[in-house]
Amino acid sequence: MQDVRSILVVLETEHSESLALKRAKLIAGVTGAHLHLLVCDRKHEHSALLSVLKASLTEEGYSVTTEQAWNDSLHDTVIAVQQAEGCGLVIKQHYPDSPLKKALLTPTDWKLLRYCPAPVLLVKTATPWAGKVILAAIDVGNSDMEHRSLHHSIIDHGFDIAYLAKAQLHVISAHPSPMLSAADPTFQLKESIEARYREQCQAFQAEFDVDDTHLHIEEGPADVLIPHMASKLQAAVTIIGTVARTGLTGALIGYTAEVVLDKVESDVLVLKPETLMDQLQELAAKD
């Protein structure tokens, strides 16, 4: 988060207060990142609004540029601008779709999470980050290089956000239920499973100074436990990752990330490993 030099802020003109811009100002105020404000609209002109916002933000000391654009869809537009401007973070306010619409069409924000070659922060509430909890969700049951790299990125971002917001960092990892038929005796008892997971966490605990009281190893499905813990801790931001691969139809983000986005009552930051980012950039370059 600290090394993000440019932030793409997606503005929703029909809403008077931009929570996305509020979060972007918080981050840029600490990191000095440039803000690129984007309105995605092909029907109406918004140059007056963008001029007012640019003047106001410049007067406050921010580095700002503005743009109105439209490609085939909102997520295509956002990704095209993110690539053109080289933005290291995309911030957008999340508006939930109705269950009926979601059943018929893939939500726009899901598409943005699936295809965007940069971290995406979806803002869901106006709750201040200051003094709150930042919840980083990882899956230490997967210890391959790609997962380890992603875990490090998730906790690193969590640490950065906690630092800039003077908040507390908590980490959660869900573990499977015991299976008596498991070939590895470790996975036959809850206590031994939890011990194995805690052992896997020791390296990043030492690096980021996460003590045992801020580490939560819980039994159950991640898509249930993460929203539950976020609610219990009243988290202001929940950070999750995906290592889903690209296919013939593009990238598929993990089911957990999409479910968590809909269930948690906090802002959500979604990260991907570098290998997936590279694949998504290749896809974006072909469009």
- The verdict on 14 and 48 lying in the same domain is yes
pLDDT in tens, 190-239: 777 778 888 888 888 888 888 999 999 888 888 899 999 999 999 999 99
Is 144 among the domain residues? yes
Is 1 among the domain residues? no
d(CA 77, CA 99): 25
Is 59 among the domain residues? yes
CATH code of the domain containing 183:
3.40.50.12370
3-state helix, strand, coil in the chain (%, to 5): 45, 20, 30
User: Pick from 75, 101, 123: which residue ends a domain?
Assistant: 123
Model pLDDT, residue 218: 86
Residue 33 has pLDDT above 60, yes or no: yes
Is 147 among the domain residues? yes
- The verdict on 154 and 229 lying in the same domain is yes
- The verdict on 274 and 152 lying in the same domain is yes
Is 46 among the domain residues? yes
Specify the number of domains making up the chain. Answer: 2
pLDDT in tens, 147-184: 778 888 999 999 999 998 999 999 998 876 666 555 56
d(CA 73, CA 37): 17
Of 124, 70, 74, 120, which Cα lies nearest the Cα of 95? Answer: 124
- The verdict on 80 and 161 lying in the same domain is no
- The verdict on 107 and 146 lying in the same domain is no
Range of the domain at 104: 6-123
Instruction: DSSP for 1-23, please give it.
Output: -TT--EEEEEE-TTSSS-HHHHH
- The verdict on 169 and 271 lying in the same domain is yes
Is 22 among the domain residues? yes
pLDDT in tens, 225-250: 999 999 999 999 999 987 654 443 33
What is the phi-psi region of residue 61: left when phi exceeds 0, alpha when psi lies from -120 to 50, beta otherwise? left
Q: Is 99 exposed, middle or buried (0-12, 13-18, 19+ CB in 10 A)?
A: exposed
Of 57, 13, 65, 19, which Cα lies nearest the Cα of 39? Answer: 13
What is the phi-psi region of residue 226: left when phi exceeds 0, alpha when psi lies from -120 to 50, beta otherwise? alpha
